[in-house]
Chains A and B, each alone.
Chain A
């Protein structure tokens, strides 16, 4: 077997969705000439390509774009900067020495020896297997994102009578899409007592079309031999156990699952990047550097975001940080841990250097009204931000200033405190 040519690259970015594109743009603008973006699909743009609804870009551009329009702006910028975006290229592995092995139809097997790597692979939907729903293994059960791809990219309808399990935004958006394309959506079923989707989507995707939302309910049986014929939905108690006698039967040929997203970290894990059990993404410092020096992570592979605007923002920071790393400006000195306190889940970054402004992001553990985020270290309150409501469906971002971090040597804890305490 012949030796494969190794190509030396300053920066290899894995993934050409909104995260990878923004990271590439920022790295080039920060002076990194020798970089490549590797994208598995035939076109850049990632999941935005199939998100044809509008509402993207309000924070970044002050206007509401559709997914393809948002992606097109980054793709145009990447072209203008002459970025090397290699589509149809699947990364097979990355090792601890930052050797990236990839394969494409056009160029065959490729090995890049990278000075720095940015992980921007996005996330995956939780599949049926992760739910343990009893019943037959018939056709007609799809993740909401798979159905979205069929309808919006291929122009195909997965079914005619639909029940949706999970009320995340993709499920809500698909309730409307399927209805507008002529299907009958019978119900949207949510295990939790609240929806993790935006109010706007509950109103405009369900209420506008008279689709009932069953909170504290779940699918307890799936029926059908070849094709799905129906599902049973049951109310659940506080421990999320089905309550006997509350069964509702729906005759349907399609069940869509919108039951959560998980960062896609197979590559990261195999190269030895430490992952957080809370976010399922990499453990990073304030420069978005992982436990492997020179390897950075951003976007949904780091933690699942609600808004692409924040993915882009985070990825610009990762691109800049990788450029600084390549210039030899290593983040040094003391780092302190950032810990989840009461009511807080999955703060990113998990470690920081207390010598500059740092943006902390996390999800509230539950719905809390009239509360404040507090950032404390060694008994001292560094920052506080009040909000009328916190919900798990909306990620919270809080920037702590350099001056507020000055002198910090102990662990930092981020908590939600209800007013009056």
Chain B
């Protein structure tokens, strides 16, 4: 059995929740939450946490970088690899907002798309 403390992000209450997991990683209990949303978030957070990644990427043929985002949240553990992939990327101007700048980043199945137009 192991315990983890998680701060809920759903509202300003910011409940400090204790999540207990067994040896297989299965959630045994969530305590300290005020509502159901906290329970759901705590279970997701200890088993498969995900995050949106936003960044800027340098653009060939433009003095300004393009802002990008993952179209969907990706596994939290993939963030460093995702950032490394974006650092070496040099898409060419012009780029339109919504355009895919990197497909299937780090094998997550999620595309990275431009959030503004450049050039």
Contacts and interface: CB of A to CB of B under 8 A. Distances in A.
Contacts of B87: 182
Interface residues of A, number: 31
Nearest to B67: A52
A151 to B, nearest CB: 7
A198 B34 CA distance: 18
A388 B79 CA distance: 34
A216 B90 CA distance: 43
Contacts, number: 71
Contacts of B83: 180
A152 B56 contact: yes
Contacts of B67: 52, 66, 68, 152
A154 interface: yes
Q: Per DSSP, are chain B's interface residues mostly helix, strand or loop, or mixed?
A: loop
Nearest to B86: A180
Contact of B54 (A66, A154, A202): A66
A364 to B, nearest CB: 10
A72 B51 contact: no
Interface stretch (B6-14, B18-26, B101-109): B6-14
B116 interface: yes
B32 interface: no
A199 B14 contact: yes
Contacts of A180: 53, 55, 79, 83
B52 interface: yes
A133 interface: no
A401 interface: no
A69 B115 contact: yes
Contacts of A418: none
Contacts of B9: 198-200, 203-204
Interface stretch (A185-193, A276-284, A389-397): A389-397
A153 interface: yes
A202 B14 CA distance: 10
A169 to B, nearest CB: 13
B12 A394 contact: yes
Contacts of B56: 52, 151-152, 155
Interface in B44-64: 51-56, 58, 64
Contact of A208 (B12, B13, B34, B76): B76
A317 interface: no
Interface in A46-88: 49, 52-54, 64, 66, 68-69, 72
B80 to A, nearest CB: 9
Contact of B51 (A182, A202, A208, A388): A208
Contacts of A251: none
Interface in A15-58: 49, 52-54
B97 interface: yes
A403 interface: no
A68 B13 CA distance: 29
Contacts of A342: none
Given A53-B54, A66-B54, A68-B97, A155 B116 contact: no
B13 A389 contact: yes
A390 B87 CA distance: 41
Nearest to A45: B116
B7 A199 contact: yes
Contact of A52 (B7, B8, B55): B55
Contacts of B51: 204, 208
B116 A68 contact: yes
Contact of B58 (A53, A155, A202, A207): A155
28 contacts: A52-B55, A52-B56, A52-B69, A53-B54, A54-B54, A64-B52, A66-B69, A68-B67, A68-B116, A69-B97, A69-B116, A152-B56, A152-B67, A154-B64, A155-B58, A155-B64, A180-B83, A181-B55, A198-B9, A199-B8, A199-B9, A200-B9, A202-B14, A208-B51, A208-B76, A388-B11, A388-B34, A389-B11
Given A199-B8, A199-B11, A202-B14, 17 more contacts: A52-B69, A53-B54, A54-B69, A66-B115, A68-B97, A68-B115, A151-B56, A154-B65, A155-B58, A155-B65, A180-B55, A200-B9, A204-B51, A388-B11, A389-B12, A389-B13, A394-B12
Interface of B: 7-9, 11-14, 34, 51-56, 58, 64-65, 67, 69, 76, 79, 83, 87, 97, 115-116
